[in-house]
Amino acid sequence: MALTPVLRRLRGRRVVLASASPRRRDILGYTGLRFEVVPSRFPETLDPAAFATPHDYARENARRKALEVALRLRAKDQRAPDVVIGADTVVAVDQEILEKPEDKEDAMRMLRMLSGRQHSVITAVAIVLSPTPEPGSDTVAPPPDPEVASLFHEETRVTFSELTEELMRDYVDSGEPMDKAGGYALQALGAALVERAEGDFLGAAGFPLNRFCRELQGLLGATSDPV
C-alpha cells in the first residue's frame, strides 16, 4: 500500500515509535516514514487474567506504551509529538498468554507447549495523535492531552511441527535473543520450527505494516495518489 500522500502530510511533523524493538523499527522503516525511536517506560505489569481475551491484553499494553511516551515527551518539550506509535505482541495458546521467557528453561517450557500445535501471535498497535490547538487559542493554557486515535490488532495463526527435545534445546542454546513472546521469532531461526502460518506475517514479526498503513491513511484523510 503506497504511503506517498501520508508521508506528504507528515513532512515536518514529529513521529515517534514508542518501542525499543529493532524488528518494529526495521518494519516501520520499510514505509520511508521519518521517525525517531523513544522506548516506552511503561512497566508492563498488567495482569493478563484481568482481561477477557489475549487481544484485549495486548491492546491495553500498546495503548499505555504509546500514551506514556506521548505524555512524557509533552512534559519534557511542552508539546507532545504529532504521532506516537505503540505496539505489543503476545503469543497465546488455549487462551494462555506466553510472553518473554524469563530464562532458557522457561523458553523450553514454552516450546514444549507449542510443539505440534497451533497458536496465535497477536500484535496490537496504538496510534496516538496530538491535537492541534485551535487558531487564536490561549498559548498560556496547558497543551491538550494526546489522544489514542486508533487502536487495533492483527492475529496470525501459527502451527509448529512436532519438536524433539534435542531440537528445542539446540534452538534455545543457539544464541537467539530470549526477548520475544513465546520464546521464538518467526522471522529468524524460529521459522525452522514453523510448519505453516496463516495471516499477517509482519504482524507475527512484531508490526502489522499493511493494517498500520491503512489506519494511518484513514486518520490523516489522505487518498492514494498515482505513483
Which residue has cell 496463516? 198
Q: What is the DSSP string of 127-196?
A: EEEPPPPPTT--TTSPPPPPEEEEEEEEEEEEEEPP--HHHHHHHHTTT--S-SGGG--TTTGGGGGEEE
Question: Would strands 118-129 and 96-98 be described as parallel, antiparallel, or unpaired?
Answer: unpaired
What are the helix (H) ranges across 45-158? Answer: 54-77, 104-114
| 179 annotated active-site | no
Cβ contact 190:172 at 8 Å: no
Which residue has cell 504521532? 83
Catalytic residue among 47, 56, 77, 88: 88
What is the rounded distance in angstroms from the CA atom of residue 213 to the CA atom of residue 154?
A: 13
Give the residue numbers annotated as catalytic, written as ranges: 88
